[in-house]
Amino acid sequence: MGDRQLTRGDFDNNEDWHRYCHEGGIEPFGRDQPFGGVGASGHYEALASAIYGQRLRDYQRAWEEWGRGEHIHFDDLKKAYRAVAFANCLGRIMSSRLDITWSTVGITADRVVAAKQGEFLDWMRRWLDRHAGWASYLWVLERGTRRGIHSHMLFYLPHGMGQKFRTDAKRALAKIVERGLVDKPGEKTIRIRARGPELAAQWFRFAYMMKGLDPHA
């Protein structure tokens, strides 16, 4: 075969192909070999799976910057508006709010923030399912120049449940980040403001969360 670089077609199985790529410092996916997912039946397949992901979307997020942008797209704004309006039509005014500043507990890497945010949202959904009948909430992640990535959430909370939610949310977040939360004047890991059904407060908060809208939209 001379000096021709081998391709996936020259190997009988994925494990041998990924071993060849790993030992030769070759990218296993490219224009001639598009990403098709990675299994984990062998050692080198498992290694490639950890690096590139098991799904196309994982690969795109890690290597093609899928979903990254400097601003909120107008289509996302429309989806968010319709979600809040739909909740309102069902009698849910989403006027309670919650903010998390991840850097106060030493979490700054994008992937780690995304993972911890996902864990907290899963807890929040289950809590609201139990105490509010079903969960209605909206969230955004925002990157600040001083405090890094932080979360903003807008949600419906039944009347009289503010203190319980505040206590449970702090306990859950501390467990997720595996350390004590910062709670001092001027700097808090989590801020929660439980409100009654205040429509003006809901839309004021919504506008604040959408402030990253593309200025050319």
The per-residue pLDDT for range 14-27, each reduced to its tens digit, is 788 878 877 776 77
Look up the domain containing 202 and give its range.
74-209
* Shared-domain flag, residues 50 and 78: no
The total number of residues shown for the chain amounts to 217
Distance CA 166, CA 193 (A): 9
Asked if residues 171 and 155 have their Cβ atoms less than 8 Å apart, the reply is no
Does residue 92 sit within a domain?
Answer: yes
pTM: 0.68
Does residue 159 sit within a domain?
Answer: yes
* Shared-domain flag, residues 141 and 192: yes
The per-residue pLDDT for range 49-65, each reduced to its tens digit, is 666 666 666 666 555 55
Tokens representing 68 are: 């990254």
* Shared-domain flag, residues 19 and 79: no
* Shared-domain flag, residues 85 and 29: no
Asked if residues 137 and 143 have their Cβ atoms less than 8 Å apart, the reply is no
* Shared-domain flag, residues 158 and 124: yes
Tell me if residue 72 falls in helix, strand or coil: strand
Tell me which residues of the chain have a pLDDT lower than 50.
Answer: 1, 31, 66
Tell me if residue 96 falls in helix, strand or coil: strand
* Shared-domain flag, residues 122 and 82: yes
* Shared-domain flag, residues 175 and 141: yes
pLDDT at 1: 46
Does residue 110 sit within a domain?
Answer: yes
Does residue 131 sit within a domain?
Answer: yes
Asked if residues 153 and 95 have their Cβ atoms less than 8 Å apart, the reply is no
Query: In this structure, what CATH number is given to the domain that contains residue 81?
Result: 3.30.70.1910
- What is the total count of domains within the chain? 2
* Shared-domain flag, residues 192 and 148: yes
